[in-house]
Structure 1
């Protein structure tokens, strides 16, 4: 397959390097990633300033690579519209440094890059790896991404499908299996730490996930050391309430 690989951690991130290294063993790959860290930027796009594109060389990577001064969604747009030579079969976004489970998918630049592909009617896979402080490893997640692509090769799900893959921080031997599951509902307790510098007073924000009951979702299964795979879509319509709202306004 011809793959476009993007991310939100930037062109120099370990995750995208490991992912491309694995995927290009089997597939044709082009890399388009932000020139710096763009985590948690959601589905933002650049409209008020020019987007700068630079060809770059990733050491040990044979695939063509470009950095752009834009967001993850911009990367997919420009990759599909300008930089890929011919039809792209699938967009792969990641490997993100940190999970994208539960309601975190709303804020995720990694997932948003995959969503942008779906808007273009190109199927996509978002890949995220659990980390713990400075402890991070991406080889297992890259292998699972390749496995999922091989599964989809002969059984496509549709042009506007986004699959969200999350991998726990453990050895490949410790992983209990792959679970196809729903998105969980997560909430956080936020702490605000004040600081003052020459620019003025500001706050650093840290969030701690609240406890939740076991509901067989991506949050729960990651804790049980399963790799999770969740189908997503950009249609945010609440179909359960569609008729009720229609009756109210009629």
Structure 2
């Protein structure tokens, strides 16, 4: 009898967040589930790791599921590292992260603990997927995403993994089940945040700052994740941890750095 695949589940909203509880339920339909997730919200933590303080990781039982669970005092990346190094019986067949409360499309990838967790898994040679729902509400409805999430994970589990490990960033629009038009394979839209800090004072007169900002989509083409989400589709963007800008490699190689170095020494 074929063994069930081992599925590692994590997130950045914390182990009790409704999004991860829904994802755990879906993954229990597909494999042997292990959960290692932060004990508190870690949104916007990116690829941070814990180096200067100790980590705690405790076994917990949050619901009546069949999965094995640990809550960790560290970041989502810490959770993945601990899971692979110490907690799981072997390397997982896939790592899934989420379901995040809120978007991780376009430039938000850079800040996302949800996405960083799956990137860390891919560094370790594990196929991985990050799931996000465009709804920040704690009581968001994740049920419309169930069918698509299960299909995506099954596709990865049952198809040969290419030499470059599959890592997908999946965003789901806030729509009813019948309103979702389908899935689009996309590229990451060019975008940015226009940010500022509200300067305030506490009752003792000490200054503090509160980050605020507006999302700006600079890319109106129809092959992007932002276009897909705005038009009722689930967006899937394949991602990687190699940040090399290959488009300018040849340009940089054409620069004569030896001449430049001599020039700097002279002047």
The two structures have a TM-score, normalised by structure 1, of 0.94
Partner of 1:177: 182
Corresponding residue number in structure 1 for 2:207? 201
CA change 1:199–1:131 in 2 (3 A) is farther
**Pairing of 1:16-55 with structure 2 (within 5 A):** 16-55=20-59
Identify the residue that residue 192 of structure 1 maps to in structure 2.
Answer: 197
What 5-or-longer segments of structure 2 have no aligned partner? 258-267
Q: Is the 8 A contact 2:101 2:136 kept in 1?
A: no
Q: Is the contact made by 2:10 and 2:79 (CA closer than 8 Å) also made in structure 1?
A: yes
SS at match of 1:187: strand
Q: How many residues align?
A: 250
1:149-164 → structure 2 map (5 Å cutoff): 149-158=153-162, 160-164=165-169
SS in 2 for 1:246: helix
Q: Deviations over 1:130-180 (max 9, x none)?
A: 015566222223432211011222223336321111100001110111000
Report the CA distance between 1:190 and its aligned residue.
2.3
Match of 2:260 in 1: none
> Is residue 7 from structure 1 mapped to residue 11 from structure 2 by the alignment?
yes
Which residue is 1:219 aligned to? Answer: 226
Aligned residue among 81, 84, 103 for 2:85: 81
Q: Contact conserved, 2:127 with 2:156, CA < 8 A, in 1?
A: no
| Structure 1 residues 134 and 9: CA distance shift in structure 2, 3 A | closer
Structure 1: stretches of 5+ with no match in the other structure: none
Residues 9, 219 of structure 1: CA spacing in aligned structure 2 closer, same or farther, 3 A cutoff? same
- Matched residues in 1 for 2:115 and 2:205: separation? 33
Secondary structure of the equivalent of 2:174? coil
TM-fit CA distance, 1:207: 1.7
Q: 2:144 matched to 1:148? A: no
How far apart are 1:214 and its partner, in Å?
2.0
Q: Which segment drifts farther, 164-173 or 146-155?
A: 146-155
Native 8 Å contact 2:180 2:232 kept in 1: yes
Give the drift of 1:88. 0.8
Which is worse superposed, 140-149 or 173-182? 140-149
1:231 alignment counterpart = 238
Residue in structure 1 matching 2:111, options 107, 112, 115:
107
Point out the more displaced range, 83-92 or 158-167: 158-167
CA contact (8 A) 2:145 2:177 kept: no
CA distance in 1, matches of 2:142, 2:106: 21
Q: CA RMSD in A?
A: 1.6
How far does residue 210 in structure 1 lie from its aligned partner after superposition? 2.2
Corresponding position of 2:76: 72
